[in-house]
Amino acid sequence: MSVLPNIYDPTHRTEDDPNFTNTIYGDRAVALADAVLSLGPEPMKLDEFQKDILRFALQADDNGDLRFRQVLVSMGRQNGKSTLAVALLLYLMLLHNAQPNVFAIASTLQQANIVYRRFSNLINSSSEVSKFFEKTTETRGIQTASGGYLQVAPAKSASLQGHSLTSAVIDEVHLLKESTYDAVVIGAGQQKNSLIFAITTAGSEESTLLKRLYEQGKIGTKGLGVSIWEAPDNAAVDDPDALIAANPALAEGRMSMEQTLQEVAFLPEADAVRYKLNRFITSENPYLPQGKWKSLGACGLPDRPVKIVADIAPSWAAFSIACSWAVGEEIHTRLLASVVKPSYTQALDLLMKVLHQVPHTEVGISAFVGNSMLEALRHQGVNTYRIVRRDDLNAPPLFYEAVMTNRIKHQHLPMLDFQMERLSRKEEKDDYRLTRPNTSVDIDAAMAVVFASYLSLVEMEKPPQVF
């Protein structure tokens, strides 16, 4: 095993075993990566800590038997996990087994294809590499000249049941279900020197598989090796030492501390903790920093046509209407109306009254309001927009960035201020949506403002049409 400078050392790593000191597999993997990665259309190069990970993952005894059949590597984002995965796939496909059957797995097919495409592009662009491969396809797999095979699979346990495989590289394992991972382990169980290599960032309290692997790795479960870079508990997101602890590429100098601190400053705290400090977060977290909404500048009355959005609390406990309009690079937003426990007819009448009084370009209707109001508006000739799940995931980060850069102006209504400060984010895989902290708090007014602002922000970001 190579010895890294202390600054690169993972926070947690499986202790050395004097019975597994043979580094021949790891040395081969590193040598192959050094010779090949620079040949593709996107030249790649392994950092020293990445080479160390390969040697760690491929430890063997004097008989050539691998120490680990499962390896977990966890670190912050943008530390070169994809490059590391490509390097390992090269070794697994060309040197580890005579006829490998390797799976590249991620939570979705789209995510799995990120590594797969980098790997296939490397092969197809270099005659020195492509001669070792018989066939490559865009999505269906890659075959070696010796009959080995690499295929991509989304993380659905059903699609992986019953497969016999020699190795697997799993990306963002925090999103996988335990049943999926266990199916992969079983599928590789009968193969000599099979390797399940999982690489990830930290997850949330719902990442039960990742928590299990962390716990098993930290107690020294036989056959499982872990290498985890994470910041200390309760570390500040802008603490350089904490950032270095979670990001070996930052320690090595490939990532810029200045740029990282700039990114952290505009990330929601939960994202900074998870992606930059590599710490687990709870599934629900505050959306906006305390006091940030109240610190924003005030706006006046709209002086041009606006975007309007209607949203409703569960069980129709409250109904709110908000608007937004662009002023230069800023978005001005106001709560136009709010009513408690309206009937459907009362809510529709209120919305129509607002539309007759306020010039508008578009009216967004949240999913909770329902299709009936949407169709009623369309029948009246109103230009409508149905707010769908995609918007639930896209609106919060876009609105957050605008808030944090002081581009949002509002009229500082006490009710709106109250709701904004209580908006929570609910983690969903690598995205999040907004929710209320408990059933006693309504957030319809805040959500109407978020989505109204979102419609203006999206329009602002559209490229100008050229005729």
Q: Which residues contact 411 (CB under 8 A, 6 or more apart)?
A: 298, 299, 334, 335
Mean pLDDT of 44-52: 94
CB 228, CB 214: distance < 8 Å: yes
Is the distance from CB of 423 to CB of 446 less than 8 angstroms? yes
Indicate whether 219 pLDDT > 70: yes
- The structural domains of the chain, with segments of one domain joined by +, span 6-276, 292-459
**Span 18-39, mean pLDDT?**
94
- Per-residue pLDDT, 65: 95
Q: What is the pLDDT of residues 246-262, one digit of tens each?
A: 999 999 999 999 999 99
Q: Is the pLDDT of residue 138 over 70?
A: no
Mean pLDDT in residue range 283-300? 91
- The percent helix, strand, coil of the chain (3-state, each to 5) is 40, 20, 35
Residue with the bigger pLDDT between 176 and 455: it is 455
Ramachandran area for residue 278 (φ above 0: left; ψ -120 to 50: alpha; else beta): left
Q: Which fold has domain 6-276?
A: Rossmann fold (3.40.50)
pLDDT-derived band at 139, boundaries 50, 70, 90: low
Domain 292-459 has CATH 3.30.420.240: yes
Residue with tokens 């796939």: 89
CA 378 to chain centre: 37
306 phi and psi, to 5 degrees? -120, 165
DSSP secondary structure letters along 347-363: HHHHHHHHHHHS-EEEE
What value does the mean pLDDT of the chain take? Answer: 90
For CA atoms 275, 56, 170, 127, give the dihedral sign. Answer: positive
At 3 the pLDDT is: 60
Quote the crossing angle between the two packed helices 444-461 and 414-422, to the nearest 10°.
80
Confidence of residue 159 (pLDDT cuts 50, 70, 90): low
Contact 58, 29 (CB under 8 A): yes
Q: Which residue do the tokens 């999103």 mark?
A: 175
Neighbours of 350 (CB within 10 A): 19
Q: How would residue 158 be classed by pLDDT, with cut points 50, 70 and 90? A: low
Q: Does the structure show a pLDDT above 60 at 2?
A: no
- Which pLDDT value is given to residue 221? 94
Residue 119: the pLDDT is 87
pLDDT for 387-432, tens place per residue?
999 999 999 999 999 999 999 999 999 999 999 999 999 888 788 9
> Average pLDDT in the 300-309 region?
95
Would you state the pLDDT for residue 157? 57
Q: What is the pLDDT of residues 223-232, one digit of tens each?
A: 999 999 999 9
**d(C-alpha 393, C-alpha 386), whole Å:** 14
Query: What is the pTM (predicted TM-score) of this model?
Result: 0.81
Tell me, what amino acid is at 139? T
At 162 the pLDDT is 66
For residue 192, count other CB atoms closer than 10 A to its CB. Answer: 9
The pLDDT of residue 4 is above 90: no
The first and second tokens of residue 99, run together, are: 């006829």
| Mean pLDDT score, 195-211 | 93
CA angle 424, 265, 322 (to 5 degrees): 45
Asked whether residue 458 carries a pLDDT value surpassing 90, the answer given is yes
Q: What is the pLDDT of residue 375?
A: 93
Write the pLDDT tens digit of every residue in 102-124: 998 887 777 778 888 888 888 88
pLDDT, position 467: 43
pLDDT at 466 over 50: no
Comparing 190 with 79, the larger pLDDT belongs to 79
Query: What pLDDT, in 10s, does the model give residues 362-373?
Result: 999 998 888 899
pLDDT above 70: percentage of residues in the chain? 96
Which pair of structure tokens corresponds to residue 139?
Answer: 């999505």
pLDDT (0 to 100) of residue 136? 74
How far apart CA 237 and CA 1 sit, in angstroms, is: 32
- Contact 374/384 with Cβ under 8 angstroms? yes
Residues 79-95 have pLDDT tens digits of 999 999 999 999 999 99
* pLDDT at 61 > cutoff 80: yes
